[in-house]
Amino acid sequence: MKKLFSLILAAAMGVGTVQTAFAETSFTDISDPKYAWAKTQIEEMAEQGYIAGYEDNTYRPDNQVTRLETIVLFSRAIGANRSENEEVLEAAKAQYGDFVDSIGLNFGQDEVSFMMYRGILDEDDVDTFLRDGKAAVAMPRQEAAAIITKAMCADDVANAEVLIDMEYTDAQLISSDYAQYVYYVSEQGIMNGMDDGYFSPETSVLRSQIAVMLHRVVDKMNLYIETALVTELDTEKNNITIMDPDGAEIPMGYVEYTKFYVDNELADENAEIVHTNSRLTYINNELVFVDVLETVVDETVRGIFQGYSMASDETTVTLRDAATKEATEYVVAINTSYNELTGSGLTLKSFKAGDYVEIDITNDKIISMTRLQIESSIKDAVVQEVGIDDDMYIVISHEDEEYDGLKIFLDEDVSVYKNGDFEDLSVIYRGDSITIIMEYEQVTKVKAVSDTRTYEGAISSVSIADVSSLKVKVNNEIKEFDVLPTVKITLGGKEASLYDLRVGDLVKITVESGAVLSISATTAVMSSNPVTGVIEVVNASKGFIKVDGETIFCKDTSTTFITAGGMTKMMKDLQEGMSVSIRGSLQNGAYIASLVIIEN
């Protein structure tokens, strides 16, 4: 019945039981009547991709099979070469690749790693069958019986059998190490005696024989792999429940030797497999491998825990949104996990009203609930940007990548402290050092510290916009500042505005962090005859240029060089043939430029 449910689910999901491509195969050397007993099996195993012939299109049925070749073939029988197991194979190589490499195999490293990952072979088995050159030795029949039994996940079953006298004429020659396996494969009809009634335990297996054995194993194992959402686990009844694409839940039993893998590690049956997409592998209609792929979370919600209620059919939890204050009820799933940030171990009764929690929701039910910190803070941040988007916001820079570039909205209820004094949001400036304090992840308090400085220099650019800015050349370095709407500006001792300032004006500005609080400006002294013309000579080392025959003294430390578009330049950028407009003053008969505007 379990397999029937599984096949119904597979049909619904459009998944076939065999995904290996079939191809027409006809070896040239198996048509002789003496191979009639194996011809069909050889062809079918080749068509399904389990075995292959040689380049000359022969199969060579009388060749012996090595121990390594036998292990590789039966690893394929349990899915080593199946596309669904690509991730499993990678995990197997990561865990056992180094050990397998130490054996020095010419091929088959992936398949051997896969057999070890699945618990089919352990290190002692690998040493017994493959190490010290044994990999290339022909496989004896009694050892083949062991490999086949292990591949069928029947090692424990075989060793638990009560061994009765086998009817083989040479039964006494079968090693005690392999007798249980020989008995098992004989009872299962996988291996039979030779024509004379002998088992011939030390006789080497031939390629024709291995094809027949493999065919019987593949047919009996009926390997089936599917991926499904696991919704419930009952360890008392050895049962998991999976969900089909239509939302119907289907119970699936598992056996004592079923292996569970979580994060590519072997786990016990109490592993967290509920609410996960898992890959299920069936052998001989039994669920034998469960590989957890990922936890399925449809939605993650954070809120303030209000309480819970329990009814006969379901339990509900009520959370209140920290921002909107809206309360919502959520249904709790069976096997929900309850956790602290530092680990698990809680129960639903551990949560109290007012706790801040995060819930993961799958299929409209809570599958996990974690208690978070109510209060948190971000320290050692710097304000990178200040703006308004419905509410005021700041963008911060931080050494921690989690916070660097974070945009934080601040509503009117936020308490603001600037340099130790209680203030309002308007005093937060770009460049302030800032600490943000939150409750339920909502900002409740901001502590800012600023650095007040005074700069003197010449204006190189004025930008008037929603957030105006000013560029000032200070000691040959261009500095940019935000200009607040409340800035106090004087020009020549009289009250003025940004619109009155010009490139080249000399200014003294008071700056708090990156924001200008006051500007005291003086219009650069103009000569009675501003110079306009074409540069004829540039002598940067002497600090002068000639424009239409007139010598103009200028240098980076005392002259502002800009383009007509407002781009800052330096004296080295001046070239003969440029059209320029120059503002300056006559000092002791020499023309000293304070501003050079490059027209082209």
**Which CATH number is 255's domain given?**
2.40.50
> Of the candidates 414, 433, 449, which is a domain's last residue?
449
> Of the candidates 294, 318, 337, which is a domain's last residue?
294
Same domain membership, residue 382 and residue 349: no
Same domain membership, residue 317 and residue 232: no
Instruction: Output the six-digit token pair for 22.
Output: 């079939």
Same domain membership, residue 107 and residue 217: yes
Same domain membership, residue 216 and residue 149: yes
In a domain, 198, yes or no: yes
In a domain, 517, yes or no: yes
pLDDT at 363: 83
Same domain membership, residue 436 and residue 380: yes
pLDDT at 16: 29
In a domain, 311, yes or no: yes
pTM (predicted TM-score): 0.61
Same domain membership, residue 478 and residue 587: no
Same domain membership, residue 70 and residue 94: yes
In a domain, 60, yes or no: no
Query: Which segments of 191-285 are extended strands (E)?
Result: 224-234, 239-243, 249-253, 259-262, 265-267, 276-283
Alpha-carbon distance of 3 to 393, in angstroms, equals 59
Kindly report the number of other CB atoms within 10 A of residue 496's CB atom. Answer: 16
Question: What CATH number did the domain enclosing 554 receive?
Answer: 2.40.50.320
Question: 357, 319 in Cβ contact below 8 A?
Answer: yes
Question: Measuring CA to CA, which residue among 219, 214, 216, 141 is closest to residue 182?
Answer: 141
Question: What CATH number did the domain enclosing 318 receive?
Answer: 2.40.50.140
Average pLDDT per 10 consecutive residues for the chain, totaling 600 residues: 35 32 68 94 94 93 97 96 93 96 95 96 96 96 97 92 84 94 95 88 96 96 93 90 86 92 86 88 93 91 96 92 94 88 84 96 90 94 88 93 94 91 89 94 94 87 83 85 88 87 86 88 67 92 90 86 80 93 80 85
In a domain, 367, yes or no: yes
Distance between start and end Cα atoms, the chain: 87
pLDDT at 375: 94
**Rg of the chain on CA atoms, in Å:** 41
> Of the candidates 274, 294, 314, which is a domain's last residue?
294
In a domain, 32, yes or no: no
Same domain membership, residue 190 and residue 244: no
In a domain, 53, yes or no: no
Same domain membership, residue 188 and residue 236: no
In a domain, 57, yes or no: no
Same domain membership, residue 558 and residue 466: no
Same domain membership, residue 435 and residue 363: no
Domain that holds residue 260: 228-294
Same domain membership, residue 587 and residue 548: yes
The total domain count for the chain is: 6
